[in-house]
Chains A and B, each alone.
Chain A
Amino acid sequence: MSTDHMSTPTKIRVATTWLDGCSGCHMSFLDMDERLIALAERIEIVYSPLVDTKELPEQVDVGILEGSISSEDDLEKAKTFRKRCKLLVSLGDCAVNGNVPSMRNHFKLADVMDRAYRENVTLQPQIPTREVPALLGTVKPIHGVVPVDIFVPGCPPRADAIWHVLSELIEGRIPDPSQVTRFGA
């Protein structure tokens, strides 16, 4: 994937979202602290839980996904991101390998639902059917459903690792996150 345009002074358009995860990777993003200011000079966050945009723009340079594909909603979001982002980044172990959300894969979905919404509930136990996206039978990492360009493992990846990845992208290079992070880091 060409990243030539990124060396130009124009800001890189970045979109992020979280799928089935704990939002910890986004928190780690915020842990870049004062470096966020420097970052803001070079990137523009066009869509993210961190900003107030409601729609993912049609054209995005870098899409960053946190969390695994666990529901139909996650699947749709991942597909949309893939369609609209030139470069797709899996951020964190849930996105990269399924991590904790995928631990339910050993059980039947119906049993998981029963456990969560009936067995452990004392008041009006019921399985929600409206206004929550239906869960998929198997939790998958992002690249299990759409092609992913860059993988940043870690639970969560440290702020330094995210900084490294973004800095490299800004410089027009494809980062090698293995140098700065690993599964479970």
Chain B
Amino acid sequence: MPLPATQPNVRVVTLKIDDLDLSAREDETLIEVCRENKIPIPSLCHLDGLSVWGGCRLCVVELEGQNRLLAACSTRVAEGMRVHTNTERLQRYRRTLIELLFAERNHICSVCVSNGHCELQWLAQKCGVDHVRVPYRQQPYPVDSSHEMFRLDHNRCVLCTRCVRVCDEIEGAHTWDVMGRGSDCRVITDLARPWGESDTCTSCGKCVQVCPTGALVKQGTSVGEMVKDQHFLPILARRRHAR
């Protein structure tokens, strides 16, 4: 007797997100399920195709029966979960987190090459941040223009490490990494040498495309001209994964 075709060994669970009854594969994370179902969840570090980071904390959600908030990007779905993604409390926390980011570095949108195409700027508007209540840190950060094609402006970096991850996980070069602690953290190329002198950088530009803000941009762009395209990432990631 022929054996039945083997089923992929992944089960499906049902859960409730914001009063919507949904089903999901048990290996999916909450943020994936939300994005599939067009439930908006803000995030700056998560990107489909890259590993989970869990650093920006904007995607925190409430889980019924649990006091502690969960980051949607690093929480797997489970049978019977009841999740709330947009409560008044979460909205308030997200606004504060975005304000903290604006106050940390020097995000002056009006003169940014990414003005109008920036995820931070967009999130601020979506979350209703129309001003920053905390004092600005006023700490100047350097700009690295040594690369012939790209430019790094630390003043606009939110330390999401998408560049670090895409370079390591997709391009395989691991040119980028992070140095320092706290707000002194900086993304660096090749043990903090100027980008233009990097031996490992392949100039593929993936880091520039995944950067949510105007921290990593193409040379020669002027205010508002830097438009990024991240569509390549999930496609590339899935092809790598299939192999």
Contact = CB atoms under 8 A, between A and B. Distances in A.
Nearest to A148: B131
Contacts of B136: 97-98, 102, 105
B106 A178 contact: no
Interface residues of B, number: 26
Interface stretch (B19-27, B107-115, B144-152, B227-235): B107-115
Contacts of B172: none
B121 A184 contact: yes
A151 interface: yes
A141 B131 contact: yes
Given A182-B125, A184-B109, A184-B116, A106 B131 contact: no
Interface of B: 102, 106-112, 115-116, 118, 121-122, 124-125, 128-133, 135-136, 138-140
B130 A103 contact: no
Contacts of A176: 128
A99 B107 CA distance: 9
B130 A177 contact: yes
Nearest to B141: A106
A97 B128 CA distance: 15
Contacts, number: 72
Which one of A90, A98, A138, A182 has the highest number of Cβ atoms from chain B below 10 Å of its Cβ? A182
B40 to A, nearest CB: 15
B108 A182 contact: no
Interface residues of A, number: 27
B116 A151 contact: no
Interface string A90-103: 10010011111011
Nearest to B131: A151
Given A99-B108, A151-B131, A183 B138 contact: no
Interface string A127-143: 00000000000100101
